[in-house]
Structure 1
Amino acid sequence: MPESPPSGILRSWWPRLLVGAVLGVLLFAGESWLLLRSGVVGMDIPVDGPYAALMAAMRPVVPGLLLRVAAVYAVAGLALAAAGTLLARAWGRGGAGASLGQGLLLFLLLAWDRAIARPALFDDLPAVRPLLAWLVEHGEPWHPRAVVAVWLVAHGAAWVVRSKQGRRALWGGAALAGLLGLWLLGQGVAGRDAPRHPLVVVIGIDAFRPDRLRSQGGSGEVAPHVERLLEDATLFTRAYTPIAQTEPAWRSLLTARWPHETGVRYSLTSDSRMQLQRTFAETFSEAGWRTVFATDCSRFHAEGPASGFAERLQPPRGAVNFLLEKLRYRALGLFADHALGAAWVPEFIDNRALAGIHDPMGYAERLAARLVDEARQGPTLFAFHATAAHFPGDPVHPFYRRFVPASEPLERRLRMHFAPVTPGAKGGWNRAGAEALYDELLAQADAQVGALLEALRRAGRYDDALILLLSDHGESFHADRADLAGATPVHGARLSEEENRILLAVKPPGGRGEAPALVDALVRLVDVGPTLLELSGLPRLSGVDGVSLVPLLRGEALAPLALYAETGFTHVLPEVFDPGHWPGAPRSFDAYRIRPDGVVEMGPAAHASILQEKDVGAFDGQRWWVDRPQANGTVLRACQGDCEGPDALALEAWFDGVQGRAEAPEIPRPRRFHR
């Protein structure tokens, strides 16, 4: 069959490409209608009272955001139409119907692949749940890819048979593939020959409990990449956070100060209440280092200029982020989960809060490339906080098959369950199932960490990098409360081993060397900054609560340390764990206010109530002194552990001294003491 002239090809293709783009826009319109339909995903929120500010903040942003989403749909439709037309022509069937059929088949194959990779993308669509359940249990990524490969080979063979130019095209394709391979090889060699600037990498894994590590009693199956790093690092087995919530914990981490000195006492703290202090990142920046902070979730933890990082890679903060959860444009998870999509609609693709749309492993690979690139350009401090173990808690393939039994309901396998814990509440699941899902999410975060570490190894930068691995807090599954078995996990509600004990490990440049593999001395999250600065030869922070742990890394002794800690602000009412506790902080949308720029922050009345509600305590590894505000206006001071002797009295005196610098509650309360 004679080939059509170029002008004829263009005339036959453009209408089909246009139809594809129109179909993409129609798909966008259909999804928009479903999203806005009353009761589907909660878009029918009231627009008066406290929500008025929320709606006002979102209104200027939404049109541009939706236009960019619509553009993705249009381009995807056009690309599917082009691919469908090309495949149809391989068989000599240039009709519009054949092109449309090929494009539709491509779309279905793509959906099949994503349903296996990230089933949370479809888990709230009742019509596909039976098929999705089967895929979750039996589907493998190679299944749709094998079908695509066979399909493409068949089309290629048909085209070669029909076309006299087939052999020439095959040789041209082979040549291009060879050139591409040589280019990639050159990139790898160039990376290894690049200048070796100093490199400090700080990796945080949200909610990681150290009892998941083999050396701390775990199975060793949850975090193999962390376990491998620990072969070259020193693990601090008794490390603790002063507050078991991400935003205040990171503020204490950056400043080396207790929460009441930073002013950040809970998530979504108002900027006006932050006590601006120097951070270790600021010291690195002033010394000429490149400083980068990255996280895949900014809903309850966003770093601003006060963090000291010159560049901050994170989803949008505030009202827009909460809106995005409602705008579940599923086709974005099909069409845009790659580098180009992340560049065009990063609010969706690089946002952990969007179940199924966010691809955690693709995100980690892009971030790893960014880390290596930054390290080539000069001395670099690169911090990454991985939040897989946070809501919506949707494990991707293969992690959703690791630990949760297949007998559990589909919704329990694919998403974290959330229900507020109140007095008299019962757990909605079994504790074993809740912890198994948590372990799957930690395994997913561990794989992200592994992507960064492997990129450093490929670039030849792993050995000479200073790598510090930490968690900001632990997680409680209410092990001491049988009535709460399976209730929503929580951190920040109590001062405890489960919630306050953290992961902390340091790999110096060149490996651990003669440093101990394990250090059992009590250390704190506030000690991280001073340690990094000393190891990097930079000036220390002055007037801080943290100390450098370098002596312990050298195998030397360090004066015993004590932890000052306080509870955060969670969905759990404190009287659940302490009957008679003062319960006054509000737990509704009224607790927050929306700034004109869309930032969500705690309101002044809620701030005062939260401070009044907090438990505060001191811990030295042997005992806790804890002050608990009571509903009758008093404060109950309780001691847990070895409460007799001079050491107990010394810790209590230290506790009183630290509290003397705390922000005083607005309602004065007498104290009564109890041991």
Structure 2
Amino acid sequence: MAESVSPHPLRSLVWRLALGAGLGLGLFAAESWLLLRSGLVGVDIPVDGPYAALSAAVRPVLPGLLVRVAAVYVVAGGVFAGVAFGLARVWGRGGVGATVAGWLGLVMLLAWDRAIARPALFDDLPWVRPLLAWLVDHGEPWHPRAVAVAVALVHGAVVLARLPTWKRRLQGAAVVAAGALLLWGAGRAGESTTGEKPPLVVLIGIDAFRPDRLSVLGGSGRVAPHVDRFVAESTLFTRAYTPVAQTEPAWRSLLTARWPHETGVRYALTSDSRMKLHPTFPETFAKAGWSTLFATDCSRFHAEGPASGFATRWQPPRGAVNFLLEKLRYRALGLFADHTVGAAWVPEFIENRALAGIHDPMGYARRLTSRVLAEASEGPTLFAFHATAAHFPGDPVHPFYRRFVSPSEPLERRLRMHFAPVSPGAKGGWTRDGAEALYDELLAQADAQVGHVLDALRAAGRYDDALIILMSDHGESFHEDRPDLAGATPVHGARLSELENRILLAVKPPGGRKQGPSRVDALVRLVDVGPTLLEFSGLPALTGVDGVSLAPLLRGESLAPLALYAETGFTHVSPEVFDVGHWPGAPRAFDAYRIRPDGVVEMGDAAHEAVVMEKDLGAFDGLRWWVDRPRADGTWRRECVGQCEGPDALVLEAWLDVVRGRTAEGDSRKVAGHVDDPRRSLAPGTVRPPQQLLRLRSVQPAGPAHPQPRGG
């Protein structure tokens, strides 16, 4: 009678790996079917009109992208099957059923962990919402990890117990302990450097950070503890302002030290052809032999190209593909690929803030810091990082989603920011307190990312010798003066105001603050950052720019008073909401944009003209605002808010005319065209004959233009 021969363990393992790869591929196919069933634009249905260009742009890159995603599922499936097979073999099993059961158990354990860490990964699946709600309220990261450790310990104990002698068991335990120590040591390696260090300049921007969240300016101290610590070690400019409260134009003004109408970038998704190619301060650093690095985790409405002057740019793909990725909700990527290898293989997903639940913000900060420190060890380095946690989709991760929003709020409001256009007659869809609480949670998340970067610099011995600037590009308005809009989508760039234009700005020179002041209350501008960095680094100044170096103020010296030129951006809020009779001609629909053949999304020509005509333009000196507002009848109305009497007010008004490039002779004024036909109307920059103009001038009582910001 023939004896049965057991298959070789290695051959069994190979078959189980193939089985796991098949399970992973089956999971990919199931998720793809669900995506197609949901109606993925440009993939499963024909599209016409403006969407045709979007479809044409994404179709060529989609097959390669999906192949890389499928590869993640296949590899992860095989790895999980290999682990499941090994665990089953401990108990003398290893059949297909045991492997599949173990595979499913491991996937569920990982999903449990991620549901607590990043619940937005599953929040749009109705059948898991009851369980997800319980995890959001009661789950802790250590729960699934404790189960994983317990499983590993039980299996390890069984393996040791089956070793033939106590000597072998002790040797096995020693091997396990040595492996654990090696893993711990690898995590601690490279934390400090010695010897001469090349110069390092770090510029960190936190999107939409309002300075009233700082504890020294009335905040609670709970929102941004890492930023508070940095501010305590640096010089804080308490009256810093941006010339435009939207990210892309604000950063272009930052890089060039020029006002928005001088840069040509005056709203998000500006056409490259409209950008005026002025020198940037990163260019100056690069010409001096510095490495210049820029990083952001969201590039939908702010992507830096070669014109920025940064030689290296780490950012998600720009344009139509990035908008497509939101539709490609391959959730298992958030389980299998949220690590260094996954980020290198599918960075479009893992390093992309726009993908709720898939992007791991803290893992991103760790990977980013490692790359920067490696680069900075090679030579002089300029590193700029724009943290966008407060951006849409606004999904706070653990533990931040428990910080400020009340547990009684609906789950969808607790876990994601909701976007809705605001037009005349619109009402708020939530509460202002709830909207601000979610905002504070997102700022706390950005603060934790920034804290990791700063702590890593400290651990590497680079914090003290580095020149570090911490800033925001704009503030945020929650419609504080409009109770009817309480809970409506927050906005920045819709009005010229303290809430939207005032920014965070704190500077730590190399070696610390030394003898400089802890705070400066003089008015400064975002355009002053670049000249300041160049002077402190001993590099040539930019010429013909609007910004100035703040080095004298940082040394405790005086500087001639400065004034801010500012303009509104282009937002989801129609200007008529805040200003009845305002010219409302800019379109707020997808057809305002065009898709280039390379997939870049940019504002169309007709929409550009309308957006520029819709802008409020103003000047601010800390005591008063002069603002020009285009009216629906084709005229401008100039308003003064604040201390509007006296020679200083007239000086600021004249300065506004000069900055806008206008003459003060007679009543000549640039005017917006009539609302009935925006394509034929005159944009700012043209002048009609004086007899065709009507200049309206009003002065409002002294006082702030909008309510003062309140603490966090």
Query: Cα distance, 1:370 vs. partner?
Result: 1.4
Amino acid at match of 2:61: V
1:170 to 2:193 alignment: no
Query: Residue deviations 1:290-348, cap 9 Å, x none?
Result: 11000000000000000000100000000000000000100000000000000000000
d(CA) in 1 for partners of 2:415, 2:524: 36
Partner of 2:485: 484
d(CA) in 2 for partners of 1:32, 1:428: 33
d(CA) in 2 for partners of 1:128, 1:264: 44
Query: Cα distance, 1:176 vs. partner?
Result: 4.0
d(CA) in 2 for partners of 1:374, 1:470: 23
d(CA) in 1 for partners of 2:219, 2:403: 15
Helix, strand or coil at the partner of 1:637? strand
Partner of 2:16: 16
The 5 A counterparts of 1:224-303 are 224-303=225-304
Partner of 1:673: 696
Question: Which range moved further: 404-413 or 90-99?
Answer: 90-99
Counterparts in 2 of 1:103 and 1:322: CA distance versus 1, 3 Å: same
Counterparts in 2 of 1:574 and 1:184: CA distance versus 1, 3 Å: closer
Preserved contact between residue 234 and residue 506 of structure 1 (Cα < 8 Å): yes
Query: Residue deviations 1:617-638, cap 9 Å, x none?
Result: 0000000000000000001111
Helix, strand or coil at the partner of 2:430? coil
Helix, strand or coil at the partner of 1:204? strand
Amino acid at match of 1:464: D
Helix, strand or coil at the partner of 1:451? helix
Amino acid at match of 1:78: G
d(CA) in 1 for partners of 2:610, 2:390: 28
Query: Cα distance, 1:179 vs. partner?
Result: 4.8
Partner of 2:346: 345
d(CA) in 2 for partners of 1:667, 1:59: 46
Helix, strand or coil at the partner of 1:377? coil
d(CA) in 1 for partners of 2:239, 2:118: 36
d(CA) in 1 for partners of 2:282, 2:640: 37
d(CA) in 2 for partners of 1:136, 1:161: 39
The 5 A counterparts of 1:182-201 are 187-188=190-191, 191-201=192-202
Helix, strand or coil at the partner of 1:193? coil
Partner of 1:142: 142
Amino acid at match of 1:115: A
Preserved contact between residue 582 and residue 613 of structure 1 (Cα < 8 Å): yes
Question: Which range moved further: 241-250 or 505-514?
Answer: 505-514
Query: Cα distance, 1:282 vs. partner?
Result: 0.4
Partner of 2:28: 28
1:664 to 2:684 alignment: yes
Helix, strand or coil at the partner of 2:190? helix
Partner of 1:521: 522
1:634 to 2:635 alignment: yes
Unaligned residue ranges in structure 2 (runs of 5+): 663-669, 671-682, 699-712
Query: Cα distance, 1:39 vs. partner?
Result: 4.7
Query: Cα distance, 1:527 vs. partner?
Result: 0.3
Question: Which range moved further: 178-187 or 610-619?
Answer: 178-187
d(CA) in 1 for partners of 2:525, 2:87: 61
What's the Cα RMSD here?
A: 1.8
Preserved contact between residue 611 and residue 665 of structure 1 (Cα < 8 Å): no
Partner of 2:334: 333
d(CA) in 2 for partners of 1:462, 1:451: 12
Counterparts in 2 of 1:441 and 1:181: CA distance versus 1, 3 Å: closer
Query: Cα distance, 1:166 vs. partner?
Result: 4.6
Preserved contact between residue 203 and residue 470 of structure 1 (Cα < 8 Å): yes
Partner of 1:581: 582
Preserved contact between residue 111 and residue 334 of structure 1 (Cα < 8 Å): yes
Helix, strand or coil at the partner of 1:169? helix
d(CA) in 2 for partners of 1:196, 1:53: 50
The 5 A counterparts of 1:106-121 are 106-121=106-121
The 5 A counterparts of 1:598-609 are 598-609=599-610
d(CA) in 2 for partners of 1:181, 1:486: 46
The 5 A counterparts of 1:638-649 are 638-649=639-650
Preserved contact between residue 574 and residue 582 of structure 1 (Cα < 8 Å): yes
d(CA) in 2 for partners of 1:39, 1:605: 31
Query: Cα distance, 1:6 vs. partner?
Result: 11
Query: Residue deviations 1:111-166, cap 9 Å, x none?
Result: 00000000000000000000000000000000000011111100111111123455
Counterparts in 2 of 1:633 and 1:398: CA distance versus 1, 3 Å: same
Partner of 2:96: 96
Question: Which range moved further: 42-51 or 438-447?
Answer: 42-51
d(CA) in 2 for partners of 1:44, 1:243: 40
TM, length-normalised to structure 1: 0.97
Query: Cα distance, 1:52 vs. partner?
Result: 1.0
Preserved contact between residue 209 and residue 473 of structure 1 (Cα < 8 Å): yes
Amino acid at match of 1:122: F
TM, length-normalised to structure 2: 0.92
Preserved contact between residue 39 and residue 45 of structure 2 (Cα < 8 Å): no
Helix, strand or coil at the partner of 2:523? strand
Amino acid at match of 1:670: L
Query: Cα distance, 1:608 vs. partner?
Result: 0.5
Helix, strand or coil at the partner of 2:383? strand
Preserved contact between residue 477 and residue 490 of structure 1 (Cα < 8 Å): yes
1:422 to 2:445 alignment: no
d(CA) in 2 for partners of 1:253, 1:364: 23
d(CA) in 2 for partners of 1:125, 1:183: 38
d(CA) in 1 for partners of 2:176, 2:604: 62
Partner of 2:220: 219
d(CA) in 2 for partners of 1:292, 1:9: 49
Preserved contact between residue 389 and residue 438 of structure 1 (Cα < 8 Å): yes
Preserved contact between residue 612 and residue 667 of structure 1 (Cα < 8 Å): no
Preserved contact between residue 21 and residue 76 of structure 2 (Cα < 8 Å): yes
Query: Cα distance, 1:187 vs. partner?
Result: 3.1
Query: Cα distance, 1:95 vs. partner?
Result: 1.8
d(CA) in 2 for partners of 1:641, 1:377: 52
Helix, strand or coil at the partner of 1:24? helix
d(CA) in 1 for partners of 2:371, 2:473: 23
Preserved contact between residue 563 and residue 620 of structure 1 (Cα < 8 Å): yes
d(CA) in 1 for partners of 2:235, 2:411: 40
1:52 to 2:75 alignment: no
The 5 A counterparts of 1:378-397 are 378-397=379-398
Query: Cα distance, 1:7 vs. partner?
Result: 7.5
Partner of 1:68: 68
d(CA) in 1 for partners of 2:299, 2:10: 46
Amino acid at match of 2:695: R
Preserved contact between residue 612 and residue 666 of structure 1 (Cα < 8 Å): no
d(CA) in 2 for partners of 1:45, 1:481: 42
Amino acid at match of 1:333: G
d(CA) in 2 for partners of 1:582, 1:412: 33
Partner of 1:412: 413
d(CA) in 2 for partners of 1:667, 1:585: 21
Question: Which range moved further: 266-275 or 172-181?
Answer: 172-181
